[in-house]
Amino acid sequence: MKIQNYFVFMALLLFFGNVFGKSFEKYLGSTGVDYGYYIQQTSDDGYVVTGKTDSNPSKSTNIFLAKFNSDGSQQWYKTFGGRDVEWGKSVKQTKDGGYIITGWTASYATNGNYDLWIVKTDSDGNEEWNKVVKTYIASDGLDIEQTIDGGYVVVGEVAKAVNNQGIMDAWLLKIDSNGNTEWSKKFGGNQRDVFFEVELTSDNGYVCLGYTVSNSSDNKRDYWIVKTDSLGNMQWNENYDGIGGDDWGRRIRQTDDDGYIFTGASNDPNDHFQIMLVKTNSSGEEEWRKNYGGQYSAQGRGLDITSDGNFILSGSIDHYKNGNTNGWLLKVDNNGDILWDKQFGTRSNIADLEYVQQCEDGGFICTGKSFSSSTQSDYMLIKVNKFGTVSVEENQLIFSEDFNLSQNYPNPFNPTTKINYIIPKSSHVSLAIYNSQGNKIEELVNKTQSEGSYEISWDASGIPSGVYFYKIITKDFTEMRKCLFIK
């Protein structure tokens, strides 16, 4: 009987390990200051992280790029830079399996300032090329995305005049696949304006999020969205006041209704911070907003749309009101109400979760920084299950009773991607692909299926690059999601 129970236990452990995926909590670095700024799940179910490190013999600050397996074990680690200071702010896996990083460099900049820097690597992190976008003033790259044509779009900030770095324009820059500039657009006025993130939109344009002082009515930072066409020409812009002080817009996503959801940090006149989450329609008009933190000071850094149509947020919270912060992870529903929240770090550390992404297994991967002293910090690599925990607990062993259509993976993709869905009872299922004009171009499923979890592969090699939609229809459930095909 004991042997039988052992095998049953092991079978359940294996099953639920597969359901919830691998989870871990790691604090990585050496003797210096290491920050993790951006993380992405890769096509092999591993992870890639970029940030900055001065954990080297010369103590110069360089960009690091680290690749991990799905269990959190490190595959390789690379650094880029010279004798001065470089920061890596964003990394994406490219369609050739390599990686593209943006940030800034002082080692290779002009006039002793800092310039936007882009580094392209192969799949093993070996540099293929790099470009310093020389402005002869000062500039910074804060996010990068690969575009439909195989090139890249970058956002950040650029100084208006020599010796006046406090006045900055928000910057949107398009480069080709070799890093050559195709066009450059600047947005702003006579104060500081910056873009922190760029997203490709369903109409093949771009949406940029950051903050503006130039457009603010009280000379303080306001959240700022700028929507452009595919050539970077502004179509509309909106700024949003937070809670009476300064606001920093950090992450933005386009929602299935073609509206937008964004997050960031707001402070009041007493310098008390709150995480802000704002939902808008397709024209940038505000539909609702939520604040998180309450009596505690909190700042928002990361955002993703989850496979169940809700939202995951990351950042920090000063839960103990002593100036020390914990990393904070929150899942909220599609009205912004908290479903669960988790904290990472200890009272003696200052911790912050800079970025979060939902993984293929439904869990979440995060990176950030954790200070153990004023001169030493580690970068964090945290993988949690879909309930926000690192370990599987008994009360989390729950079978799905709901219909669900997951985000395709990989996304963007070339030329194949996988679509997963769950049906809790026998149903007739229709799953089809639509183009951006709403025309059905391919039917993947049209039959009755029994309850269970299904995975469908879609091969898009016979159609042009672009934004597409996949839609599931049953008697009791309909949902549509967006995907991006890049040849």
**Distance, CA of 66 to CA of 40 (rounded, Å):** 11
For residue range 103-129, what is the model confidence (pLDDT) as tens digits?
999 999 877 789 999 999 999 999 999
CA atoms within 13 A on the CB side of 185: 19
pLDDT of residue 445: 96
> What are 68's two structure tokens?
């991990």
Locate 133 and state its tokens: 């976008």
Q: What is the pLDDT of residue 321?
A: 61
* 17, pLDDT greater than 80: no
**Structural domain 23-395, CATH architecture:** 7 Propeller (2.130)
Q: Where are the domains of the chain?
A: 23-395, 404-485
pTM: 0.79
CA-to-CA distance for 160 and 104, rounded, in angstroms? 17
Greater confidence (356 vs 377) lies with 356
> Mapping DSSP to helix (H, G, I), strand (E, B) and coil, where does residue 293 land?
coil
Q: Cα 218 to the chain's mean position, in Å? A: 30
**Distance separating alpha carbons of residues 426 and 276, to the nearest angstrom:** 41
Domain 23-395 and domain 404-485, same fold? Reply is no
Give me the pLDDT at residue 104, please.
95
pLDDT above 90 covers what percent of the chain?
A: 67
Task: Calculate mean pLDDT across residues 433-445.
Answer: 90
Q: What is the pLDDT of residues 219-228, one digit of tens each?
A: 999 999 999 9
**Residue 164: per-residue pLDDT:** 56
The predicted structure's pLDDT at residue 477: 84
Q: According to the model, what pLDDT value does residue 377 have?
A: 84
Q: Is 83 helix (H, G, I), strand (E, B) or coil?
A: coil
Highest mean pLDDT out of 286-290, 376-380, 454-458: 286-290
Q: What are phi and psi of 76, to 5 degrees?
A: -160, 165
Q: What is the chain's alpha carbon radius of gyration, rounded to the nearest angstrom? A: 22
What is the C-alpha to C-alpha distance for residues 99 and 78, in angstroms, rounded to an integer?
12
Question: Count of CB atoms within 10 A of residue 162's CB?
Answer: 11
- Residue 110: CB atoms within 10 Å: 13
Specify which residues 145 forms β-bridges with: 153
Tell whether the model's pLDDT for residue 8 goes beyond 90.
no
Per-residue confidence band for 437, with pLDDT thresholds at 50, 70 and 90: confident
Q: What is the DSSP string of 175-210?
A: E-TTS-EEEEEEE--SS-EEEEEEEE-TTS-EEEEE
DSSP label at 148?
T
Structure tokens, 60: 């110069």
Query: b vs e for 193-218, b when ≥16 Cβ sit within 10 Å of the residue's Cβ?
Result: bbbbbbbbbbeebbbbbbbbbbbbee
Per-residue pLDDT tens over the stretch 48-67: 999 999 876 666 899 999 99
Report which residue type is found at 450: S
Which of 128-137, 225-234, 397-406 is the most confident on average? Answer: 225-234
| Range with lowest mean pLDDT among 35-39, 346-350, 364-368, 450-454 | 346-350
If 0-12 CB within 10 Å is exposed, 13-18 middle and 19+ buried, where does residue 177 land?
Answer: middle
Residue 393 has pLDDT above 90, yes or no: no
- Cβ count within 10 A of residue 419: 23
User: What's at 137, amino acid-wise?
Assistant: I
Q: Would you say residue 315 has pLDDT above 90?
A: yes
Q: Which residues pair with 190 in a beta bridge?
A: none
Answer whether 237's CB lies under 8 Å from 220's CB: no
pLDDT grade for 322, boundaries at 50, 70 and 90 = low
Lowest mean pLDDT among 98-107, 173-182, 474-483: 474-483
Please give the structure tokens belonging to residue 40: 């992405």
**pLDDT above 90: residue 16:** no
So what's the pLDDT on residue 58?
67
Spatial CA neighbour of 471 closest among 441, 426, 427: 441
Q: Please answer whether residues 209 and 160 qualify as being in contact, where contact means their C-beta atoms are separated by less than 8 angstroms.
A: no
Which band of pLDDT confidence, cut at 50, 70 and 90, is reported for residue 9?
very low
Q: Rounded mean pLDDT of the chain?
A: 88
* Tens-digit pLDDT profile for residues 26-37: 888 877 889 999
Checking if the pLDDT of 395 tops 50, the result is no
pLDDT of residue 1: 39
Assign a CATH topology to domain 404-485. Immunoglobulin-like (2.60.40)
Span of 113-117, 224-228, 318-322, 360-364 with lowest mean pLDDT? 318-322
pLDDT at 147 over 70: yes
d(Cα 103, Cα 88) in Å, to the nearest integer? 4
pLDDT at 452 over 60: yes
φ/ψ of residue 18, rounded to 5: -70, -40
Indicate left, alpha or beta for 124 from its phi (over 0: left) and psi (-120 to 50: alpha): alpha
**Listed range (103-117, 172-186, 215-229, 253-267) with the worst mean pLDDT:** 103-117
